[in-house]
Amino acid sequence: MNPIRLALVGTGGRGQIYVDVVKRMPAGRVVWAAMCDRNEGVLNDFCDRNGLTAPRILSVEELVRRNDIDAVLICTPDSIHREPAVACFEAGFHCLVEKPLATTPEDARAICRAARRSGKLLHLGFVFRYDPCILKLRELVAGGAIGRVIACITHDAIGWFHGSTYMRRWNRFRKFSGDMLLHKGCHTFDVINFITGAYPARVAAFGGTEVFQPREGAASHCHACRLTDDCIYYTDQGPEYRERFYNTAGPQVLPEDMCVYNNEKDSTDTVSLTAEFTNGMRLSYTLSMVSPQGRRRMTFIGTRGEIRCDMEEYRIEYWPLPDRPVDVIEVPRPTGTGHQHHDRALFSHFLERLEQGDDPERGILDAYMSGAIPFAALESLQKGEVVAIPSP
Ligand SMILES: NC(=O)c1ccc[n+]([C@@H]2O[C@H](COP(=O)([O-])OP(=O)(O)OC[C@H]3O[C@@H](n4cnc5c(N)ncnc54)[C@H](O)[C@@H]3O)[C@@H](O)[C@H]2O)c1
């Protein structure tokens, strides 16, 4: 079989992950056919650093004129997925699009329509589909361990320090991130759809920017602020703080002492919502950005029992009915650091789908539905109404 000819659009942090994954693969399965980024300095530095000899291309318009590409990895920022994805589908390339699919429902629909028209594969960068905990939960639910699933309770807890770095980065603006409910939550909403095999139908949400609201008496930047004693986000705390900030937030260079309360933003930081699913299940979901520890916790309640999972612990409790002893399932922790294992599994799955000529229809609705709850929830917050989820 000829190697799959890949192009990368967006040679930033996520693009680096895919280049690292490819470096560790046996030679001959894939070959880099092109590297594309609109920032020439970033592109050159990326290619030089990684010893990449593929042609360097500065625009998607130029990329889609090539006839030596099979598939494209779209790793541009969240709000810039539509233009490259639609152009690449129209050029007849398969696409792995990073999460979230898009930051507006219009963009999400446009990508899905282009994918459907092209007959090429749309694969999303949802790494948690490859997490052993999620796969075990799916196996239990699909195998009928808890009977008919009637409810799901989920808490996306973002650690307070990590959460505050988002409120000093581009993520705090909806026009870039689509809102933190989408940027963070889409992983969780996708795996809930994946585990249950169902899609959300309607949503009612409550919340907003509740914590990081303007604070009277605080200045625009920490260095000019008087209210330092009781502020846990006060940045002028020496080199350790700076290091922690950069380790958590990545290399983005921002005015690091910008006030998390008084800076401009429109993303929510606290949302609780209820969603009703096509299979009758009801989801109760909370996003909080000031939790003591970052955690993703999920409970599925069914007519024959309950399963509870804390994804950080790799431990699932299975409580079957009637009154049988709890079964504690220790899920093997994935190897590697961060989500290295998941990245490899995600990329391999994309390649397998390509090699096996998978049905292109598979994945389109999943991709759209991963963002459907955040989009409907933001509308619900604005209108104070229950919002129905339209089809793509
Ligand atoms: N699946 C995951 O777990 C995961 C993890 C991290 C990031 N992501 C997603 O990956 C995407 C990229 O994130 P990142 O951290 O790599 O961002 P980044 O800012 O590090 O890199 C993005 C790159 O895209 C380039 N770019 C922007 N517009 C372009 C265009 N029109 N054409 C060509 N290049 C363009 C920029 O110059 C930049 O180099 C985001 O959507 C992010 O949410 C997913």
Q: Whose CA is nearest to atom 28 of ligand 1?
A: 76
Shared domain for 150 and 198, answered yes or no, is yes
SS3 257: coil
- Mean pLDDT, residues 20-49 taken together: 96
Q: Please report which confidence band the pLDDT of residue 252 belongs to, taking 50, 70 and 90 as the band edges.
A: low
Residue that is last in its domain, among 96, 128, 160: 128
| Per-residue model confidence (pLDDT) at position 355 | 96
What percent of the chain has a predicted confidence (pLDDT) above 90?
A: 85
| Per-residue model confidence (pLDDT) at position 251 | 57
| Per-residue model confidence (pLDDT) at position 340 | 87
| Per-residue model confidence (pLDDT) at position 110 | 98
Number of domains in the chain: 2
What is the 8-class DSSP label of residue 294?
Answer: -
Instruction: Reduce the secondary structure of 221-255 to three states and give it as a string.
Output: EHHHCCCCCCCCCCCCCCHHHHHHHHHHHCCCCCC
Q: Whose CA is nearest to atom 34 of ligand 1?
A: 37
Nearest ligand 1 atom to the CA of 126 is 1
The answer to whether position 190 is within a domain reads: yes
pLDDT tens-place string over residues 363-376: 999 999 999 999 99
Q: Rounded to the nearest whole angstrom, what is the distance from the C-alpha of residue 12 to the centroid of ligand 1?
A: 6
Shared domain for 136 and 91, answered yes or no, is no
Residue to mutate (ligand 1; options 82, 98, 267, 296; most atoms within 8 A of CB): 98
- Mean pLDDT, residues 326-351 taken together: 92
Q: Which two tokens stand for residue 33?
A: 């056919």
Q: Rounded to the nearest whole angstrom, what is the distance from the C-alpha of residue 104 to the centroid of ligand 1?
A: 17
Q: Please report which confidence band the pLDDT of residue 243 belongs to, taking 50, 70 and 90 as the band edges.
A: confident
Q: What is the mean pLDDT of the chain?
A: 94
Q: How far apart are the first and last CA of the chain?
A: 35
The answer to whether position 30 is within a domain reads: yes
Shared domain for 274 and 314, answered yes or no, is yes
Cα–Cα dist 150/153, whole Å:
10
Residue to mutate (ligand 1; options 37, 162, 184, 188; most atoms within 8 A of CB): 37
Shared domain for 198 and 324, answered yes or no, is yes
Q: Rounded to the nearest whole angstrom, what is the distance from the C-alpha of residue 147 to the centroid of ligand 1?
A: 41
Nearest ligand 1 atom to the CA of 60 is 32
Ramachandran region, residue 357 (left: φ > 0; alpha: ψ -120 to 50; beta: rest)? left
Whether the pLDDT of residue 248 is over 70: the answer is no
| Per-residue model confidence (pLDDT) at position 261 | 96
- Mean pLDDT, residues 212-216 taken together: 95
User: Which has more pLDDT, 237 or 52?
Assistant: 52
Q: Rounded to the nearest whole angstrom, what is the distance from the C-alpha of residue 170 to the centroid of ligand 1?
A: 12
Residue to mutate (ligand 1; options 9, 14, 126; most atoms within 8 A of CB): 14
What stretches of 9-147 show up as alpha helix (H) in DSSP? 13-23, 40-50, 60-63, 82-90, 105-118, 132-142
Q: Is the CB of residue 287 less than 8 Å from the CB of residue 180?
A: yes
| Per-residue model confidence (pLDDT) at position 292 | 94
The answer to whether position 224 is within a domain reads: no
Shared domain for 120 and 187, answered yes or no, is no
| Per-residue model confidence (pLDDT) at position 18 | 98
Q: Please report which confidence band the pLDDT of residue 21 belongs to, taking 50, 70 and 90 as the band edges.
A: very high
- Mean pLDDT, residues 177-198 taken together: 98
Q: Which two tokens stand for residue 19?
A: 């280049």
Q: Whose CA is nearest to atom 40 of ligand 1?
A: 77
Cα–Cα dist 242/236, whole Å:
8
The answer to whether position 238 is within a domain reads: no
Shared domain for 274 and 377, answered yes or no, is yes
Whether the pLDDT of residue 254 is over 70: the answer is no
Angle between helices 185-196 and 132-142 (to 10 degrees): 30
The answer to whether position 256 is within a domain reads: no
Q: Rounded to the nearest whole angstrom, what is the distance from the C-alpha of residue 11 to the centroid of ligand 1?
A: 7
pLDDT tens-place string over residues 90-115: 999 999 999 999 999 999 999 999 99
For residue 3, is the peptide bond before it cis, meaning its omega torsion is within 30 degrees of 0? no
pLDDT tens-place string over residues 281-324: 999 999 999 999 999 999 999 999 999 999 989 999 999 999 88
Provide the residue range defining the domain that includes 10. 4-128
- Mean pLDDT, residues 4-11 taken together: 98
| Per-residue model confidence (pLDDT) at position 255 | 58
The answer to whether position 237 is within a domain reads: no
| Per-residue model confidence (pLDDT) at position 208 | 97
| Per-residue model confidence (pLDDT) at position 237 | 62
Q: Lowest mean pLDDT: which of 119-128, 180-189, 223-232, 279-288?
A: 223-232
Shared domain for 322 and 372, answered yes or no, is yes
Shared domain for 277 and 145, answered yes or no, is yes
Q: What is the DSSP string of 52-64?
A: --SPEES-HHHHT
Q: Rounded to the nearest whole angstrom, what is the distance from the C-alpha of residue 13 to the centroid of ligand 1?
A: 7
Whether the pLDDT of residue 253 is over 60: the answer is no
What is the value of pTM for the model shown?
0.95
Shared domain for 165 and 285, answered yes or no, is yes
Residue to mutate (ligand 1; options 17, 35, 62, 75; most atoms within 8 A of CB): 75
Q: Please report which confidence band the pLDDT of residue 1 belongs to, taking 50, 70 and 90 as the band edges.
A: confident
Residue that is last in its domain, among 75, 93, 128: 128
The answer to whether position 93 is within a domain reads: yes
SS3 290: strand
Cα–Cα dist 242/50, whole Å:
28
Q: Report phi then psi at 253, rounded to 5.
A: -100, 110
Length of the chain: 392
Residue that is last in its domain, among 128, 155, 185: 128
Ligand 1 first shell, C-beta below 6 A:
9-15, 36-39, 42, 60, 75-78, 80, 84, 98-99, 125, 127
- Mean pLDDT, residues 229-238 taken together: 80
Nearest ligand 1 atom to the CA of 83 is 31
Shared domain for 40 and 106, answered yes or no, is yes
Shared domain for 24 and 167, answered yes or no, is no
Shared domain for 122 and 142, answered yes or no, is no
Q: Rounded to the nearest whole angstrom, what is the distance from the C-alpha of residue 277 to the centroid of ligand 1?
A: 31
Residue to mutate (ligand 1; options 76, 184, 187; most atoms within 8 A of CB): 76
CATH of residue 39's domain is 3.40.50.720
| Per-residue model confidence (pLDDT) at position 238 | 67
| Per-residue model confidence (pLDDT) at position 140 | 98
Long-range contacts of 217-222 (CB under 8 A, 24+ apart): 218/259, 218/261, 218/262, 219/259, 219/262, 220/258, 220/259, 220/262, 220/263, 221/255, 221/257, 221/258, 221/259, 222/257, 222/258, 222/259
Q: Whose CA is nearest to atom 18 of ligand 1?
A: 12
Q: Whose CA is nearest to atom 39 of ligand 1?
A: 12
Cα–Cα dist 19/152, whole Å:
37
Nearest ligand 1 atom to the CA of 342 is 3
The answer to whether position 139 is within a domain reads: yes
Q: Please report which confidence band the pLDDT of residue 250 belongs to, taking 50, 70 and 90 as the band edges.
A: low
CATH of residue 381's domain is 3.30.360.10
Nearest ligand 1 atom to the CA of 250 is 15
| Per-residue model confidence (pLDDT) at position 234 | 86
